[in-house]
Structures are given as C-alpha cells and as structure tokens.
C-alpha cells in the first residue's frame, strides 16, 4: 500500500527530496507496525512500553465496521456500552474511556459519552492505547485513549466507489478519491450518505459525511495541510433512556427485541464539524517542527421522550413518560506545537520530543419541559402495546441547562534513550494547567488544578523477535466537592502500571502481545454520612481498582490468513460505598476474534469470521416491595454470557471490481446491550448486507 505524501518520521531523514514515496505492505493486513498516539514518537508497536492495538482499514472494510461503536467492539479490552440508540459509553479495565483524539490531538469527551453515530470512512486506522496516557492527555481516566488517524492523499491517484444494501432497508453510498494536482499539491476527499430503518420500532437513523484534505509542499522541507470534516446525523424515533428491566415482583422483563420506548415525534439531530490546519518543517539538522490547530463544533437539537417506573407483571401497567427538548452547542479549539529529533549522548543516538498545547471548550446546554398541558407527563400504555403515539408537548417550562468553559495548557516532553543496544528507556512528563468555569444544571463546576504527570517505561530486546517491557504513568480529574475544612478536594489520580512481552511471529508478519496491568484511583470524593444536604461534605477515598492481563494478536499467521485476536481477563474492586455496580455491570472477561482467509483454490475469494464474547454481568436494582411473597429480596438484573458471531465473503471479480456479503449475529443471539444504567434495550438480531466496490 502506498504511503501518504507527508510521512511523519521519515521527513527528518529524507528532507532533501521533493516527494517522499514509500512502498510496502504497511497497512494491507491486520498488523499495523507503528503507532503514535502514546507519544509524539512514531515508534514500532514493539518499542512502545504500553499495551497498544490498531484496527486497520483492511479490517474495517472486511467486516463493514462503518462506525466507531462497531470498531471498538473489535478492539482488545474495550467494552462498548450502548445505553441508548444515540448515546454510548466506553469502558476499559473497569473505567470509562473518555479520551478520543484525532491524529494525537483531542480533549476528553465533554459529557463522558459519545452522542450519535460517528462514521469511520474518513479514517485510515484507529489506535487504541490501553491504560493511562499521561503524556498526550493527562486529564481523564486510566482506561484507554482512542486515536483516530485520518486519511491523507496517496502518492498515486485513486478513486473508490462502494454501495451497500442491507437489512431494514439499509442503503449506503461512499466515495473516496485521492488526486495529485502537481508533485507538490494533492487532495483527498470522502463523501458518504447512509439511510436506514431499524429493527427497533420507529427508529430511523441517517447520516451524511463530507471530508476534504488538502496538502501542499511549500518547499522541500515545509508541508502544510488543511482539512474539513462534517458528520451530519439525524435520527427519528430514538430512545432516551430505555426499557424497564424488572417487574414490581422483582422478576425480569422479557420484551421483543424491537421494543422501543420512543415517541413517534422524537428526534435527535447532531452536526459535528472539524477543521484542522497543520504545518511541518524539517530543519537542516533533521529536527522536525510540527504545529496543529483544530476547531471542532457540535450542534445538537432534540426532542426526547423518557419512560420510567416499574410495570406490573400481569397488566404491564405502571409506567409513566415525560418529555424534554434538549439543545447543546459546544466549541473546541486546540493548538499543539512540538519539536522532535535525534541527539547524540555518550556515543549513542537518542530521540527527544518537546511540545506545548492549549485547548479550550465552550459548551452550552438547554433543557425545556412541559409541566402545564399534560402532554409532557403521560400515563403509558402497556409497553408491548406501545406504538409511540402520544401528543407532542409544548416545551416552554422548567428551563435549565449548563454553561461551561474548560481550558487546558500543557507542556510535555519525551525522550527515548538507547541505553544499550538492547535496552531502551522512555522517560517524560506533562505539566497540565486545567481550569473549568461555569455551572451544570444548578451545580457549580468551578475547579482548577496544576498537575505534573510522569511517564516512564522501558523496553528490553530479548532476542531479534521478542521484547519485554514495563511502563508507568498517571492521569487526573478535577473535583468540585468540599472537605470538612471547606477546601476543594485534590484531583482524582489514576495510576496505571503494566509489564508485558511483545514478539514478532510468522516471518515478522504478526505481533503477539501479553500484558499484565494494575490500575487504581486515588482521592475519589465520598460523601460523609449523616450530614444535611445543604451542608454535605466529602472525604477522599480509593476508587476503582483493577488488575488483570491481556493477549493481543494481529497480523498474518499463515499465508493468506489475517487475524486480529484479543483476550482480556481482569478483576474489578470497588468500595461498596462508592458504586458497587461498577464491578457487576463491567464484564471481566472479553474475547475478540476476527480472521479472513484468501482461499487458494479459488482466486479472488476471501472468507472471514468475527466473534465477540463476554462473560455474564448483573446490576443490583433495589429490593422487592411489600405485598409480594418475596418482599425484601434483592432485585438483580442479569445478562448471561453471550457470543455474537459474524461472517463475511468477498469475491474479487476483476482488479477493479469486488462483491462482498456480510452477516452479523448469525445465531440470532438475544442480549441486552448494556447494564451501565438501570434500563436497557436489546441488540440487533441477525442481519445481512451486500456491498459492491469499484476502484480505479
């Protein structure tokens, strides 16, 4: 596969060339050899003292991983918590994943979760750096960082059109083109349009994606680029909250998979725009200076309907609804500048990065309700009979919301020291100045912290194919709670340490990683008992702790057999006074498997399978009330262990044309998508799609 015109690491070595052309099999399979999201160093994954995996474009195309949720479903150690149709949380190692970056630049998700569908058509690959990522983020949980690497112009002109049709009237068209105007100027453009119905009653999502990346070489040593992306997502019949999971007697509900609590007028429209300007210059001594400015704006416009209460098992009555109009606008500005290069010390070459960044976010939310007409709080029909028909409220009452400003200034450095031929030590740190101002739904959010985040790791070359590594880093999250002395509690500190072995196998075509990790939180706010609400104070205690191991295998393990395999097993320990449910709803064992095989007997035929398995989870919901034989018993919602299996087949008709079919959840497994909240809905039953691809 051809590289892009701008090659980060090679600029320093090939600065005298007008056009840099690198050819090879870097991303043709499932084994991406390098990653940059853990530091500014473009290192081989074996040389990163942290657990890293990459979902390549090949894997995304094979299994039609067209959105972020389906991609992260395949990533080792990541659990996707689909709490609603258009709102998703992500967890790793027992903690929420909130750090999402584009080309290594980003802020934690403002609300801790992702709204609407995020398409993957504009990304070349997706890196997942597990554990804390203190160097590049600093703020957040010690869970994982997801780094999206955008598509850039290719050396040769190319054009790809694909069309997909699938279950529930799913229709998707995608165009991806790269064109070189001159040897110094090139562009990449992606357009996607998708429209679908759904297995869920009334739910119909659609989206349009527009992406343009312009790149120009000003001189032999200076590159500039400008990109712009729009993700326009519209959904009708989306749910807000989900189905009740138990009856008044404590027994579990069991609705049809299509059950949806939405009203027939509900909708959730989201537009996300992201503009990025980059400039890179290679000095005569080989050092590279790179600067990035990113502007991201999100606009959300919704009318939502929420169903709550506990139904009677016999009559299915007892549910109520209420409605809200919710609007959200936020703006993110990010500036990042760093200098990287090599230096000589004690007769050896070493690598060094120093950088600074500034990021700011302004966000405003508004919620309105209907307290006066009666349409805002209707009594529900039995859910099996619910068709979404309820009067649309007049949203004019109870205005509330949030108005927040968040700023971060940071200086960071990294040095990879080649201590010996076999021992490489990476040391670094990040000085973070973090400030939040404003209020959220009546609660003041003012907080500021100035923290230094250390990073240290080492990689030892055992032999030509195998390395052993160890790493330690931290993250932090500001708090607003007061202690008994009316002082703001220190920030929550997340500490992550791991050791592991990485080895190249099967002719260096695949990478196997085995990791043991320990992660813990310190200084989490816990309410002091027996205090009046208006005088409530807090003390700092330990939060979630987890420890376990991961196995990650990626690449070609036999000629024509591409694989991506992940196994995660860990234990979560939580103070019961904080949130015991975290340990229960978090699956502590995950298996991810994907493989494709080029059938040698039939030229052009590729067959594949992917499997996602997790162990059982549960959630404590309360106790059975009076009037039942089992009054006083705990109500526990359980989701048994399950596996979701998919198949694919592709036939390369000609060099330019291919046909493929994909089948998802072929066993028609019925399962709840999440127990992150006390409500939930069912995942999609068996579904199918067919895709036509024409490439030039």
pLDDT of 10 > 60? The answer is no
Task: Classify residue 116 by its DSSP letter.
Answer: S
Per-residue pLDDT, 28: 64
| Residue 2 is assigned to a structural domain of this protein | no
- Check residue 442 and give its pLDDT: 84
pTM of the model: 0.91
Q: Is the pLDDT of residue 37 over 60?
A: no
Give the pLDDT of residue 290: 94
Length of the chain: 696
User: Which stretches of 14-117 are assigned E, i.e. beta strand?
Assistant: 34-35, 43-44, 52-56, 78-84, 87-92, 95-96, 99-102, 114-115
Quickly state the pLDDT bin for 111 (edges 50, 70, 90).
Answer: low
**Structure confidence at residue 184 as a pLDDT band (50, 70, 90):** very high
> For the segment 303-315, what is each residue's pLDDT rounded down to a tens digit?
999 999 999 999 9
For the cut 90, the answer to whether the pLDDT of residue 502 exceeds it is yes
Q: What distance in Å separates the CA atoms of residue 120 and residue 192, rounded to the nearest whole number?
A: 10
Residue 6 is given by DSSP the state -
Query: Residue 274: what pLDDT?
Result: 94
Q: Considering its fold, how many domains does the chain have in total?
A: 1
Q: Is residue 336 packed enough to be buried (19+ CB in 10 Å), middle (13-18) or exposed (0-12)?
A: buried
Per-residue confidence band for 9, with pLDDT thresholds at 50, 70 and 90: very low
Region 274-296 average pLDDT? 95
- 506-543, pLDDT tens digit by residue? 888 999 999 999 999 888 888 888 888 777 888 888 88
Please report the pLDDT score of residue 66 as a whole number: 96
**Least confident stretch, 10-24, 151-165, 462-476, 633-647:** 10-24
pLDDT at 543: 82
Q: Which residue has better confidence, 522 or 240?
A: 240
319 is a domain residue: yes
Residue 678 φ/ψ, nearest 5 degrees:
-75, -10
The full DSSP string for 501-554 is EEEEETTTTEEEEEEEEEEEEESEEEEPSS--GGG--EEEE---EEEEEEEEEE
> Is 10 domain-assigned?
no
Rounded CA-CA distance 458/471 in Å is: 6
In tens, the pLDDT along 384-436 reads: 999 999 999 999 999 999 999 989 899 999 999 999 999 999 999 999 888 88
Over residues 366-389, the pLDDT tens digits come to 999 999 988 999 999 999 999 999
> Are the C-beta atoms of residues 21 and 6 closer than 8 Å to each other?
no
Banded model confidence at residue 577, pLDDT cuts 50, 70, 90: low
Answer whether residue 421 is part of any domain. yes
Answer whether residue 3 is part of any domain: no
Distance CA 158, CA 14 (A): 25
Kindly tell me if the per-residue pLDDT of 22 is higher than 60.
no
What does each C-alpha distance from 570 to 133, 580, 653 come to in angstroms?
Answer: 19, 16, 45
Give the per-residue pLDDT at 293.
Answer: 95
Q: Kindly report the number of other CB atoms within 10 A of residue 512's CB atom.
A: 19
Domain assignment present for residue 19? The answer is no
What confidence tens digit (pLDDT) does each residue in 599-658 have? Answer: 999 999 999 999 999 999 999 999 999 999 999 999 999 999 999 999 999 999 999 999
The share of the chain scoring above pLDDT 90, in percent, equals 73
Residue predicted with more confidence, 535 or 160: 160
The answer as to whether 146 is a domain residue is: yes
pLDDT exceeds cutoff 60 at 473: yes
Task: Give the residue-averaged pLDDT of 98-126.
Answer: 83
Average pLDDT of the residues in 83-91: 94
Greater pLDDT, 231 or 17: 231
pLDDT above 70: residue 21: no
Query: pLDDT by residue (tens digit) across 204-232?
Result: 999 999 999 999 999 999 999 999 999 99
In this predicted structure, the answer to whether residue 559 has a pLDDT above a threshold of 60 is yes
Residue 534 domain flag: yes
Q: Is the pLDDT of residue 1 over 60?
A: no
CATH number for the domain harbouring residue 600: 2.40.170.20
Q: What is the DSSP string of 165-217?
A: EETTTEEEEEEEEEEESSSSEEEEEEEEEEE---SSTT-EEEEEEEEEEEEEE
- Mean pLDDT calculated for residue range 469-497: 85
Q: Find all residues with CB under 8 Å of 386, minimum gap 6, and list them.
A: 259, 261, 380
Q: Give the pLDDT score at 34.
A: 66
Where is pLDDT greater, at 530 or 21?
A: 530
Q: What is the mean pLDDT of residues 97-119?
A: 80
Query: For the residues 277-281, what does the mean pLDDT come to?
Result: 96
Q: What pLDDT was estimated at residue 441?
A: 87
Domain that holds residue 496: 35-256+272-395+406-695
Per-residue pLDDT at 264: 95
């Amino acid at each position: 596969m051809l590289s892009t015109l701008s090659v980060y690491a090679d600029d320093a070595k090939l600065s005298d060339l007008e056009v840099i052309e690198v050819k090879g099999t870097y991303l043709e399979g499932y084994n991406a050899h390098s990653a940059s999201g853990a530091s500014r160093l473009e290192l081989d994954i074996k040389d990163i003292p942290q657990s890293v995996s990459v979902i390549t474009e090949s894997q995304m195309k094979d299994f039609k991983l067209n959105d972020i949720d389906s991609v992260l479903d395949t990533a080792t150690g990541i659990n996707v918590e689909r709490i609603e149709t258009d709102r998703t949380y992500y967890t790793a190692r027992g903690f929420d994943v909130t750090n999402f970056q584009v080309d290594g630049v980003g802020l934690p998700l403002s609300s801790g979760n992702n709204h609407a569908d995020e398409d993957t058509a504009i990304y070349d690959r997706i890196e997942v750096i597990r554990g804390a990522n203190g160097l590049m983020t600093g703020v957040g949980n010690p869970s994982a960082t997801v780094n999206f690497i955008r598509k850039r112009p290719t050396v040769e002109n190319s054009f790809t059109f694909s069309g997909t049709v699938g279950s529930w009237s799913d229709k998707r068209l995608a165009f991806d083109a790269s064109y070189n105007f001159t040897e110094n100027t090139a562009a990449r453009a992606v357009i996607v349009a998708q429209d679908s119905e759904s297995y869920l009653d009334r739910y119909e999502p659609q989206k349009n994606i527009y992406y343009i990346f312009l790149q120009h070489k000003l001189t032999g040593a200076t590159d500039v680029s400008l990109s712009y992306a729009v993700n326009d997502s519209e959904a009708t019949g989306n749910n807000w909250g989900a189905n009740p999971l138990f009856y008044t007697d404590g027994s579990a509900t069991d609705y049809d998979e299509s059950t949806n609590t939405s009203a027939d007028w509900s909708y959730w429209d989201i537009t996300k725009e992201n503009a990025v300007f980059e400039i890179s210059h290679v000095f005569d001594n080989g050092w590279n200076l790179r600067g990035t400015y990113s502007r991201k704006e999100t606009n959300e416009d919704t009318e939502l309907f929420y169903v709550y209460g506990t139904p009677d098992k016999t009559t299915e009555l007892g549910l109520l609804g209420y409605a809200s109009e919710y609007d959200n606008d936020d703006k993110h500005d990010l500036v990042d500048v760093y200098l990287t290069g090599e230096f000589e010390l004690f007769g050896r070459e070493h690598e060094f990065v120093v950088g600074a960044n500034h990021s700011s976010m302004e966000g405003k939310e508004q919620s309105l309700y209907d307290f006066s007409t009666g349409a805002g709080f209707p009594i529900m029909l039995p859910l099996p009979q619910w068709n979404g028909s309820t009067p649309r409220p007049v949203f004019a009452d109870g205005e509330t919301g949030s108005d927040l400003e968040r700023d971060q200034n940071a200086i960071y450095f990294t040095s990879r020291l080649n201590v010996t031929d076999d021992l490489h030590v990476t040391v670094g740190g990040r000085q973070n100045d973090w400030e939040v101002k404003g209020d959220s739904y009546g609660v003041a959010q003012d907080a500021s912290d100035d923290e230094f985040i250390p990073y240290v790791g080492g990689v030892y070359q055992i032999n030509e194919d195998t390395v052993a590594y160890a790493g330690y880093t931290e993250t932090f999250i500001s708090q607003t709670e007061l202690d008994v002395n009316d002082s703001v509690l220190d920030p929550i500190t997340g500490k992550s340490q791991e050791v592991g072995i990485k080895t190249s196998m099967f002719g260096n075509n695949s990478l196997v990683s085995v990791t043991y990790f320990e992660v813990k939180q310190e200084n989490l706010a816990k309410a002091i008992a027996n205090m009046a609400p208006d005088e409530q104070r807090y003390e700092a205690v330990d939060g979630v702790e987890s420890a376990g191991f991961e196995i990650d295998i990626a690449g070609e393990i036999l000629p024509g057999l591409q694989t991506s395999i992940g196994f995660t097993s860990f234990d979560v320990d939580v103070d019961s006074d904080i949130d015991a449910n975290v340990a229960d709803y978090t699956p502590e064992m995950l298996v991810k498997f994907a493989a494709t095989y080029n059938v040698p007997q039939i030229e052009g035929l590729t067959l594949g399978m992917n499997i996602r398995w997790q162990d059982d989870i549960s959630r404590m919901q309360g106790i059975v009330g009076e009037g039942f034989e089992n009054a006083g018993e705990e109500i526990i919602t359980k989701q048994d262990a399950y596996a979701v299996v998919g198949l694919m087949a592709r036939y390369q008709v000609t060099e330019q044309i291919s046909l493929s079919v994909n089948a998802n959840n072929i066993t028609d497994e019925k399962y709840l998508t999440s127990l992150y909240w006390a409500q939930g809905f069912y995942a999609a039953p068996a579904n199918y799609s067919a895709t036509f691809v024409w490439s030039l």
